[in-house]
Amino acid sequence: MDKNFTFTDGTSLEIGTMYCIGKNYEKHAKEMGGELPKDPVVFIKPPAAYIPDGSSVILPDFSDNVHHEVELVVVIGKDCSNIRSDQARNVIAGYAIGIDVTLRDIQQKAKEKGLPWAVAKGFVTSAPISKIIPESEFGDEIPFFDVKLEVNGDIRQNGNTKDMARPVGLLIEYLSKVFTLRTGDCIFTGTPEGVGKINSGDKLIAELSGKVKLSISVK
């Protein structure tokens, strides 16, 4: 099992907790039958869910409806708590493109019963993440990114992080206050509209502003 994120400059960082944000794009919230939530919706994936570029998502036999959700992933570079949004850039190690693979049928059953989403969101191979682009390659502010996902050559999702209801700085502010963030933690920042089912044999290519790609197969 891979235990480290790999950066595009060849460095690495041990993987920590993966914090994930639900319903952070208005159009996605609506396609899921809801509205933007008043407070951030947070769930967690374990480090064992991570797979790197070139790997395969393994469809579990206990789900019949597995969905892709392409997202900007932000990797934390130092332990921090109670970070203000205008300080957030100082604790970011880098940026990547990731796919929050979701067992939609399992999630829906959990929602109906008011139960946690851990199985639907945190199963093994549910967190493909590309190589990490070091934060130092960007300017003095947290940039906006295009996020795109193709499935078998067809564009399924295509958005920009400027449309996030809560931008990266505010997410770091919130998470660092509630949990304390550690070096190697990462944040899946939410997905734009266009989520859909994936099937065995599919080929997924996710891209972050033309800077890094993530190629994943489905088994």
Q: How far apart are CA 63 and CA 73, in angstroms?
A: 25
Map out the domains of the chain as residue ranges.
4-218
pLDDT digits (tens, 9 = 90+) for 1-32: 679 999 999 999 999 999 999 999 988 878 87
pLDDT digits (tens, 9 = 90+) for 79-117: 999 999 999 999 999 999 999 999 999 999 999 999 999
Q: How far apart are CA 51 and CA 54, in angstroms?
A: 8
Question: Of 2.60.40.10, 3.30.70.1230, 3.90.850.10, 2.30.110.10, which CATH number belongs to 4-218?
Answer: 3.90.850.10
Residue type, 111: K
The pair of structure tokens assigned to 49 is 């869910």
Q: How far apart are CA 97 and CA 198, in angstroms?
A: 18
pLDDT at 1: 64
Stated pTM of the model: 0.97
Q: How far apart are CA 128 and CA 214, in angstroms?
A: 8
The pair of structure tokens assigned to 21 is 């944000």
